């Protein structure tokens, strides 16, 4: 997993704080579908880890392959850290168990807002999540990423 940091300035009238996070959100419901970040409570910073999403329709789990390709991937995931405003963008990759599966590296602990885009039944959907990435186990899992 490679991380790149780029400052982004957005000009215009300031709106309500988009990074206000008051609670954790692990499930998003849309059009009869439920997308769940199943390992949301296990996310830790300073090591590579998976993002595992299940997709249900009428309480029946859908498998990989039901999603349509969108911009070359079955899913696009964007995460923004509340405190540092770090921006992470990852693509879903192949996994037999999860229709959306990606690997990432959280550079810091704290609250992250997550957006997941996927295409199903010809419609592009965007789901939102909020997670608190913990420090648990961070000292033992520190990885030197200075070569990236």
In tens, the pLDDT along 20-69 reads 555 788 999 988 999 999 999 899 998 899 999 999 998 898 877 788 88
Find, among 59, 56, 57, 39, the residue nearest to 104 by Cα.
39
pLDDT of residue 96: 83
* Contact in structure between 89 and 117 (CB atoms under 8 Å): no
Is the whole-model pTM more than 0.95? no
- pLDDT average, residue stretch 93-121: 91
Whether the CB-CB separation of 124 and 27 falls below 8 Å is answered with no
Q: What is the DSSP string of 90-103?
A: EE----SS-SEEEE
Determine the average pLDDT of the residues in 109-117: 93
Q: If you compute the radius of gyration of the chain from its CA atoms, what whole number of angstroms results?
A: 16
Please report the sign of the dihedral spanned by the C-alpha atoms of residue 36, residue 143, residue 84, residue 148.
Answer: negative
């Amino acid at each position: 997993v490679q991380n790149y940091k780029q400052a982004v300035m957005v000009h215009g009238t300031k709106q309500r704080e988009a990074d206000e996070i008051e609670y954790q959100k692990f499930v998003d419901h849309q059009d009869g579908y439920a997308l769940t970040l199943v390992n949301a409570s296990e996310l830790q910073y300073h090591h590579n880890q998976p993002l595992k999403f299940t997709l249900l329709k009428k309480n029946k789990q859908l498998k990989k392959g039901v999603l349509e390709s969108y911009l070359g991937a079955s899913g696009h995931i964007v995460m923004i850290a509340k405190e540092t405003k770090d921006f992470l963008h990852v693509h879903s990759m192949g996994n037999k168990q999860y229709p959306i599966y990606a690997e990432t590296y959280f550079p810091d602990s704290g609250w992250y807002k997550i957006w997941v885009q996927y295409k199903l039944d010809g419609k592009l959907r965007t789901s939102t999540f909020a997670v608190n990435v913990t420090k648990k186990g961070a000292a033992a899992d520190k990885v030197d990423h200075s070569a990236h």
